[in-house]
Structure 1
Amino acid sequence: MDKFNSRHIIFLILGTGIVSLKTYPTIFTKVGGRDSWVAVIVSSILIIIYFLYIINVCRKTKTYSLYEIFKGAYGKIIGTVFMIVYMLMLFLTLIESSAVEANSMHTNMLLSTPQWFFLIFFIIPAIYTVKKGKVAIITVTIIGIVLIMIAGINLAILTAKYKKFQYLFPIFKDGITINFLITILKTFGLYGSISVVLPYLCEIKDTKNIIKDSLIGLFILIQMQIVSVTGVIMTFGINRGNLISYPKLIQTQRVSLFDFLEMGELFVMLQIVGGWFIKYVLTFFALTKLLKDLNINNKYIHYVISTIVFLFAFFAANNLFTLFKLLDYYTYISFVGFIIIPLITFIMYSIRKNGKNL
């Protein structure tokens, strides 16, 4: 457990890629309408192509250090600048994770509990976990993802009788519109969170099966997202679903067994709180790794970052409408910062590396 192997990348992909699309799908369904589930399928194919290309470049160049790739692509100075941009994306993801968790729990579960209370009991345990190192990170991730998948399977079974397939059709009633393309961009941007995995690649000691294990993680991820977004549409219909901020939390309130047992919310609370915590600690640890590459290794850095995240997250989470406006911007920022910039970087690094080998 003191080192990563390629099988761990399955859990890293799931830990970073699951919760954004599942927790606030109305960010893109309001634009894509009933065809949003088709857009998710398209962006799922794109994220597979994107991530496999990234891994393939690492394998062919035998370089897994993200900092070395940035320097190799742009030179030391410009490469460091782009590395800082990538680190700012990680910082924004920390704010997203903590703010959405606090706001979703406050809005749907514990209305009288203030957001700052959720943030404190989210951020402080994360500091403890991250400071314990990569063994604690991978342990929390594996256990959390397994429990989240079990909860997801249970929810799929319990909510099946409330879903209507006819809500998914007709497809492309108005043809392929600009809104459909924007929805693909948004969902692709939210999928971009799996780029948080990139700083972990240099920790993988056995990379022989990294392509196969990445594919396993990606296929599990995309089927979860497709089932999730189609499930929301089939449960509420697109018009009603778009009026709900966190439809997965409302969807599970319908679950009832024998008019006595109602445990749907318990499962989804595990998914949301656990899922966002896993994404937060994975992102936090990745950020501290990159700071060390830049020789920034102050013993108080965890507390400084956490305090800044708390302040920004409190501002974002304090108002539901403000949060969703910021999340809307975040989808586009994520597309640029987590998809476009890394993709261009790896293309340039591959070209330069191949040029030197000629």
Structure 2
Amino acid sequence: MNPVKPSFLQAAMLIMLSVGLSNHVFIIPVLLQVAGRDSWLSVVISSLPIILFTLVVFLISKQLKGNTLAEWLSNNLGKAGGFLFKLVSSVYFLQVSYFTFYDTAMWAKSSYLYESPMFVIGLILAFLSVLTACLGMRTLAFASGILLPLVVIFGFYVATVNVQYKDYNRLLPLFEHGYTPLFRGIFYCMSGWVEIALILFIQPYLSKKFKLWQLLLLMFIMVGLTFGPLTGAIMEFGPYEAEHMRYPAFEEWRIASLGKYITQTDFFSIYQWLAGAFTRISLAMYIAVVVWDIKKKRNLIFMIWGILMSASLIYPLNDTVFQNLLITLIFPVNFVYFSFLIIIALMAIPIGKLKKKRRGTGATARGRSSP
């Protein structure tokens, strides 16, 4: 009996957990630093070009026809083009797994594990991530279906109970520093949302093809994951105070309460963050290795990478340096990689059709020349 394949709903949950951590947590302090109060308008405007990007992703997904993205690109662009894609993808996803791993360990130590060595925190996180990556995409998708519902419930809870602290007047005025912050904010919004193209890596594992409306709905959910906590941080703390917070989405939990007597509910955010972090790390590790179609030594590679990530925490980066890396390197690299992916995939479509036409013409010519 063949194992049950994940549905698109489970794949969407996997993407919401993985991309949600980036767009719900990592990107918000970046947007506040580069765009300030104008950042919420950057989100609104960015939702227009990301619709076009999503349409292109759907167009490419229709061309795969059961193949993995790496197989399809290798068939259409040749071995050299396929090798370039695999190499760039591996480097990109390994850095995604590392920076997510590092920021999660840093957050855990600074938030609730003050006395614990970062190396020990990293070992536990690496063990969970490596174990899940070893179990494969199917396990990742099914685990996401279990983890996400509580993440969503907690998210709506904190948004609702904090309504009493929200001052909508803090969203205005706009353009205090001209239009440059707005455009910078648009770039960083796009840098996070382009990760919807992850569906191209997950598609071959699904039980059936997805529809355009499903992908567009997922895209709008991703936009909401950024817009909600971003506007919440501005309305609750003000744009200037929120700009200097390391984790504005986490700070929103510090003012939330449950009834009259339970005033500390930020432990719910620990579940939210760790669910997203271990999913994002595991998924990135898995794609970085599986893109090469490695099967025999796959688990060994996962374990080696987990050990290397943990060892790097013995001498951690300065947090200020890491914040600067988010702005100057990590999110720009995000945008560049997925732009590269879309460009070569669009190039592969006509090249593949031309190759198919030539093969058909050659076969016809051979048939005519045969006696």
Q: Fold-level match, TM-score > 0.5?
A: yes
Deviates more, 1:328-337 or 1:303-312: 303-312
SS of equivalent to 2:292: helix
Alpha-carbon distance between aligned partners in 2 of 1:195 and 1:314, rounded to the nearest angstrom: 34
Deviates more, 1:233-242 or 1:275-284: 275-284
Alpha-carbon distance between aligned partners in 1 of 2:146 and 2:57, rounded to the nearest angstrom: 27
* Structure 1 residue 256 displacement after superposition: 2.8
Contact 2:57 2:342 in 1 (8 A): yes
| CA separation of 1:199 and 1:167: change in aligned 2, threshold 3 A | same
SS of equivalent to 2:278: helix
Contact 2:50 2:193 in 1 (8 A): yes
Alpha-carbon distance between aligned partners in 1 of 2:157 and 2:212, rounded to the nearest angstrom: 30
* Structure 1 residue 123 displacement after superposition: 0.8
* Structure 1 residue 67 displacement after superposition: 0.6
Q: Which residue of 2 aligns with 1:305?
A: 305
Q: Which residue of 2 aligns with 1:244?
A: 245
Alpha-carbon distance between aligned partners in 1 of 2:259 and 2:203, rounded to the nearest angstrom: 48
Q: Does 1:288 align with 2:309?
A: no
Q: Which residue of 2 aligns with 1:274?
A: 275
For each residue in 1:284-329, what CA deviation from the matched residue of structure 2 results, as whole angstroms up to 9, or x when unmatched? 2222321326x773551121121223234665x5421122122221
Q: Which amino acid aligns with 2:99?
A: E
* Structure 1 residue 59 displacement after superposition: 0.9
Q: Which residue of 1 aligns with 2:98?
A: 95
SS of equivalent to 2:8: coil
Q: Which residue of 2 aligns with 1:144?
A: 147
Alpha-carbon distance between aligned partners in 2 of 1:194 and 1:118, rounded to the nearest angstrom: 30
* Structure 1 residue 333 displacement after superposition: 0.9
SS of equivalent to 2:132: helix
| CA separation of 1:9 and 1:44: change in aligned 2, threshold 3 A | farther
SS of equivalent to 1:7: helix
Q: How does 1:1-358 map to 2 (within 5 A)?
A: 2-24=4-26, 25-60=28-63, 62=65, 64-177=67-180, 179-207=181-209, 209-292=210-293, 297-312=297-312, 315=315, 317-328=316-327, 329-337=329-337, 339-356=338-355
Alpha-carbon distance between aligned partners in 1 of 2:60 and 2:101, rounded to the nearest angstrom: 33
| CA separation of 1:305 and 1:37: change in aligned 2, threshold 3 A | same
SS of equivalent to 2:6: coil
For each residue in 1:239-263, what CA deviation from the matched residue of structure 2 results, as whole angstroms up to 9, or x when unmatched? 1111111112222111234542124
Alpha-carbon distance between aligned partners in 2 of 1:164 and 1:95, rounded to the nearest angstrom: 37
| CA separation of 1:44 and 1:311: change in aligned 2, threshold 3 A | farther
Quote the RMSD (CA, aligned, Å): 2.3
Q: Which amino acid aligns with 1:324?
A: Q
Q: Which amino acid aligns with 2:204?
A: C
* Structure 1 residue 19 displacement after superposition: 0.8
* Structure 1 residue 120 displacement after superposition: 1.1
Deviates more, 1:324-333 or 1:62-71: 62-71
Deviates more, 1:187-196 or 1:146-155: 187-196
SS of equivalent to 2:179: coil
* Structure 1 residue 64 displacement after superposition: 4.4
Alpha-carbon distance between aligned partners in 2 of 1:200 and 1:61, rounded to the nearest angstrom: 11
* TM score, norm. by length of structure 1: 0.90
Identity rate of aligned residues, in percent?
20
Contact 1:141 1:278 in 2 (8 A): yes
For each residue in 1:88-121, what CA deviation from the matched residue of structure 2 results, as whole angstroms up to 9, or x when unmatched? 1100110121111111121222222222222111
Alpha-carbon distance between aligned partners in 1 of 2:234 and 2:278, rounded to the nearest angstrom: 26
Q: Which runs of 5+ in 2 are unaligned?
A: 358-371
| CA separation of 1:261 and 1:290: change in aligned 2, threshold 3 A | same
Contact 1:69 1:346 in 2 (8 A): no
Q: Which has the larger radius of gyration?
A: 2
* Structure 1 residue 193 displacement after superposition: 3.3
| CA separation of 1:64 and 1:215: change in aligned 2, threshold 3 A | farther
Q: Which amino acid aligns with 1:304?
A: I
